[in-house]
Structure 1
Amino acid sequence: MVHFIKNIYLTNRFFISLASVCVFFVLGYFYPVIGAIAEILLLALSVCLVTDALLLFYPGPGVDATRNLPKRLSNGDPNAISINLQHYYPFEVGFTIIDELPFQFQKRDHNFNDSLAPKKQTKISYKLTPTQRGSYTFGALNIYITSPLELIERRYRFDEEQEVPVYPSFIQMRQFELYAISDRLQDVGIKKIRRIGHTMEFDQIREYVRGDDVRSINWKATARAGDLMVNQYRDERSQQVYSVIDTGRVMKMPFDGLQLLDYAINSSLAISNIALTKHDKAGLITFGDKGCNIVPAQKKRAHLQKIQKALYNVDTDFKESDFNRLLTFMHNRISQRSLILLYTNFQTIESMKRKLPVLQQLASKHLLVNIFFINTELDDLLQSTPKSEEEIYIKTVAEKFNYEKKSIVKMLNQRGIQTILSRPQDLSINTINKYLELKARGFI
């Protein structure tokens, strides 16, 4: 009985019908004939209500539903989720699905309404875009079923407490990997870099094809084969590529729901995958105010799982990162010259100058690429036309910040430090562009 009461809900149609009967009873106080009609309507409503309950609670399975979740969700990407609904009633039913989403999404009205033919099934799909890494817990899947009378609803509950982790953007990583394998990276904005000279690693001798560099012709092989033959070179392999992520307060700034730290993490995963695809070694370093953590660079494909797990737990706080500690750590742990992709953020020239001695020492031992962000919130201000003194002041400050960002790039480049100044949403593409450029020019 308790189970019956907990799963039965009166619909709006029932309350409208009951209100109409009440109106007839009120009128029946003045007109006895209408009062008799009201009694008949009340009896009919009661019979319909009991009939509706019997229809919905007849013996049998009734409804079966499952929520299909992936083993993990990709942070910052739309993730497909589906609900399979099967009912066994011998009549058409209306249904309302209320899916209890994790609290991180802050959505309490996630529902679907439709009807279903007798003994049929349906599949409902939707997408969720998480903006935080961590564990997400889905609540119950609530199904409310109505018969053609639509006076009451019967509730079914399924899949309570489903937990799924949210990892750094592996969807983005796989997307770039597919383009890299098919040599179509330029289709997603990756620039095709013209090679300057040759790399140092010889690959094979092959027949000359129109357009090949004539300096690559192998005259001895040409004399033996009777056709023009050229030497083919390939990119040097087994170079170390380290993604170094600043977890300090400068990476706390949000953009489109994600923190700058999350953009850096997603980019690190993508570039690590591309580096492994190009037969280089990929590694990871995270640092903050107290210490540094490292995943040593390796060449194995399975190594990507270690990097992904390490990135899953990376978080930031409101403290300033210790760059001197980073310098000492890298000096002790990385002996081979490597490509260092340093993800941080400089808001002013003064903040960059405080860290410049450390950056110069890193650049003297490694190929350092300093990656920081354009403040896209200033774009509208820079393009607007001020109409008051306050707006003039605000635009002037915005132009000052924009100028300082460009000045930082110039100062770093003058000291032999490569830079990437990127919009957060373009970070992965710009980082891969720089990696391929440096590789094509034989810098690594």
Structure 2
Amino acid sequence: MLTLYRQLFLGKRLYLGLAVVALVFFLSFWFWIVYPIALFLACMLTALFLVDLLSVFGKKAGIQGSRILPEKFSNSDANEVGISISNGYRFAVRLFVLDEIPEQFQKRDFGYFTDLAPGESRETHYSLTPKLRGEYRFGSLHLFAHGPLGLVARRYSFDDRQTVKVYPSFLQMRKYEFLAFNAMKREYGLKKLRKFGHSREFEQIKPYVVGDDLRHLNWKAAAKTGKPMTNHFQEEKAQPVYSIIDLGRVMKMPFDGLSLLDYAINSSLVFSNIALKNGDKAGLATFSDQIGPTCEAHHRPTQIKTIMELLYNIQTGFPESDFGKLYSWVRKKVGQKSLLMIYTNFEHAGAMRRQLPFLRALAKHHVVLVVFFENHLLEEFSEQPASSLSGIVEKTIAAKFIYDKRLIAKELKRHGIQTILCAPQSLSIQTINKYLEIKAKGLI
């Protein structure tokens, strides 16, 4: 009896029928002839209720269900969750699927309806887009089977308590892995860049043709063959490239549900995968007031998995980032000339100038690429018309912040430091383009 009480739910049609019966009984207070009609309706409703109740509770296990989760979720992407259900009743049922999704999504009314024919099995799907990395815990799966008359519903609960880990956006990584080296990449903003051959890894000797660099003429080979010959060089491979992520408080700023740190993590994962596919060695480092988790640059097959596991756990803090500690770590641990892609954020020129001596010192030994972010909210605000004096002042201040960002980028370039200033949403494309440009110019 207790089980029946816990599983029994009344349908909307029953409440509607009770309202009609109550209304007829109410009218019979003044019109006595209506009373027998009200009594008849009450008896009919009771009988139909019992029929519907026996229909859904007459079978011990009329509905079976389970949740199907992927091995891991991709942060900031739509991830599909499957619900497998089967109908063991001899009649078609209308099911309300109520899944207890993780608390991080803050949805308390998540559910949907579906219909199942007698004996039918089906797999339905819905998608979830996480905004935080970490472990997500699912609760029970509840299926509400409505009777053929729709007066009662029986709740079937399946204790499918499951945990899934949310990793940096590996779906973006796979997407750009496909797009970076095929004809479709121009649709997505990727550029094909000509390689100029500045490296010195010898490939072969070929006859001279118009346009070859005269500095590469091979006079000994020319003397033997009797015609001009030139040395040809191929692009150097296995160059170290490091994604260096600032974990200070400047990376806590949110944009569209994600923090700047999450955008940097997604971009560094995409960039590291492209570098590995391009034959280079990818590494990772993090820092704030101390050096955080690091991963030495390698080209081993498991390197991208190692980087992903390291990125899964890192979080921002509130301290001021110490670029001096970063400089000391790079000088001790990174011997070969490398590409250092530093993800940080400068909101004003003063913050950049405090770190400029360390960036210039790094640029003497490595190719330094500083990645920082445009504030697209300020961009949108500055384009809105001002209707008052205070609005004009606010727009002027917003324009000043936007102008300062561009001045910071120019100042860094003036000191020989590569820069990327872009909106967080386009960060992955911009980093890939810049990496391909640096490789094409033979800077590393």
Q: TM-score, normalised by structure 1?
A: 0.92
Residues 1:221 and 1:64: Cα distance change in structure 2 (over 3 Å): farther
SS in 2 for 1:125: strand
Question: In the alignment, which residue of structure 2 is the partner of 1:349?
Answer: 349
Question: In the alignment, which residue of structure 2 is the partner of 1:75?
Answer: 75
SS in 2 for 1:365: coil
Indicate the RMSD between aligned Cα atoms, in angstroms. Answer: 2.7
State yes or no: 1:403 paired with 2:403. yes
**Deviations along 1:285-313, whole A, 9 cap, x unmatched?**
00012333211111112111111011001
Question: In the alignment, which residue of structure 2 is the partner of 1:65?
Answer: 65
SS in 1 for 2:136: strand
Q: Match of 2:241, as an amino acid?
A: V
**Deviations along 1:195-244, whole A, 9 cap, x unmatched?**
33443334568999xx996569999999x9xxxx9987542111000000
Q: CA deviation at 1:191?
A: 1.2
Structure 1: distance between partners of 2:117 and 2:207? 67
Q: CA deviation at 1:276?
A: 0.6
Structure 2: distance between partners of 1:206 and 1:85? 68
Structure 2: distance between partners of 1:28 and 1:50? 26
Structure 2: distance between partners of 1:434 and 1:173? 16
Question: In the alignment, which residue of structure 1 is the partner of 2:435?
Answer: 435
Q: Residues 164-175 of structure 1: matches in 2 within 5 Å?
A: 164-175=164-175
SS in 1 for 2:352: helix
Work out the percentage of aligned pairs sharing the same amino acid. 44
Structure 2: distance between partners of 1:255 and 1:207? 56
**Deviations along 1:355-407, whole A, 9 cap, x unmatched?**
11111111111110011001101112222232211111111111111111111
Residues 1:155 and 1:232: Cα distance change in structure 2 (over 3 Å): farther
Q: Comparing 332-341 with 290-299, which one deviates more in the overlay?
A: 290-299
Q: Match of 1:322, as an amino acid?
A: D
Structure 2: distance between partners of 1:384 and 1:322? 38
**Deviations along 1:166-190, whole A, 9 cap, x unmatched?**
0000000011112235465434211
Do 2:341 and 2:368's aligned partners in 1 also have CA atoms closer than 8 Å? Answer: yes
> Number of residues paired by the alignment?
440
Q: Match of 1:412, as an amino acid?
A: L
SS in 2 for 1:23: helix
Question: In the alignment, which residue of structure 2 is the partner of 1:313?
Answer: 313
Residues 1:339 and 1:38: Cα distance change in structure 2 (over 3 Å): same
Q: CA deviation at 1:428?
A: 0.8
Structure 1: distance between partners of 2:337 and 2:217? 32
Structure 2: distance between partners of 1:27 and 1:371? 76
Structure 1: distance between partners of 2:18 and 2:437? 75
SS in 2 for 1:29: coil
Structure 1, unpaired ranges of 5+: none
Question: In the alignment, which residue of structure 2 is the partner of 1:148?
Answer: 148
Structure 2, unpaired ranges of 5+: none
Structure 2: distance between partners of 1:115 and 1:87? 10
Q: TM-score, normalised by structure 2?
A: 0.92
**Deviations along 1:307-341, whole A, 9 cap, x unmatched?**
10110011002221111111112222111111000
Question: In the alignment, which residue of structure 2 is the partner of 1:24?
Answer: 24
Q: Comparing 419-428 with 324-333, which one deviates more in the overlay?
A: 324-333
